[in-house]
Structure 1
């Protein structure tokens, strides 16, 4: 009888670990291992992974391309009040370990909203620090044609937050 009870409880424990401890990281996604809710330095590649339930968990970040409409000022500094223009921005998360602190600092906020907010804040800071990259031909609107603003954005965003801007252009809608 004791052997049957031990076997049944062992099978139950294995089922619980299998249910809560097995995770699939899909193609084009990256996982970050969390220990007691805090990000570790370990990234998890695509595939099936086992973690210890309630001690370790894995947060999965899609490598999908996000398409966002960011609004900036077209007559003055990009982030000051004034007439707004929409920038169609294609971006993605390229380093989930660097993006994870944004998620941890804002629980309940969507990944898309966090990425958009960080891109806009970085764009604003760079347009103040590098006015030559954010203006062109004496025009107050951002210079998106020569790619200098995208280059500056990516240098700052990839290193600081694990986000890469693939394309930024003025929206026609």
Structure 2
């Protein structure tokens, strides 16, 4: 067996075992935007494409993404595509989260992932990161950096086509 195969195979198996948890694993409370206080189980959104926008208040590209994501949200029926912001800051109070959510101009609800469960589960390592889930709750694609309408739109279209 070649040296490459001896090292590549275990690495491949390790990475395969690190796949993100399914949608059923995540549950959060809406902390800003419409539906404040409602619990969201991503498993309940199966059958829809889900766009998760991971953001923080100190992140200028996160702010730049809001109008792009609002435009994309307006393009798709709510029963087909759901948008959620996911704030990843431990120290952000609920009141401050609502304030920043309004300042950014998000047209969709935000969840607070203070413990970093969703961030870790979807391997988010930089902000902003958009994760697009297909109708089965599997990661269809991701975009790192300020949202680009064409790129994110094509990720959504690809997930809808599955």
TM over 0.5: no
Q: Which has the higher strand share?
A: 1
TM-score for the superposition, normalised by structure 1: 0.24
Q: TM-score, normalised by structure 2?
A: 0.25
Q: Which has the higher contact order (CA 8 A, sep 6+)?
A: 2
